[in-house]
Amino acid sequence: MTGETIAMPVPWTARAPGALDAEGFEELFGRCFGEIHTYVAQRLGPDHAEDIVAETFFTAFRKRAQYDPSRASVRAWLYGIATNLIGKHRRLEARTLRALGRFGPEADSPGHEDSVAVRVSAQSLRPELASALAELDRRDRDVLLLVALAGLTHEEIATALGIPYGTVGSRLNRARKKLRARLGEVRVHG
Cα dihedral 132, 133, 138, 139, rounded to 10, equals 100
pTM exceeding the 0.75 threshold for the entire prediction: no
Q: Are 138 and 86 a contacting pair, CB within 8 Å? A: no
Q: How many CB atoms lie within 10 A of CB 169?
A: 14
Q: What is the pLDDT of residues 102-145, one digit of tens each?
A: 665 544 444 444 444 444 444 445 778 888 888 899 999 999 99
Q: What is the pLDDT of residues 43-99, one digit of tens each?
A: 888 888 999 999 999 999 999 888 888 888 899 999 999 999 998 877 766 676 667
Quick one: how far is CA 35 from the chain centroid?
9
The CA distance from 43 to 111, in Å, is 22
CA torsion sign for 128, 129, 131, 135 is: positive
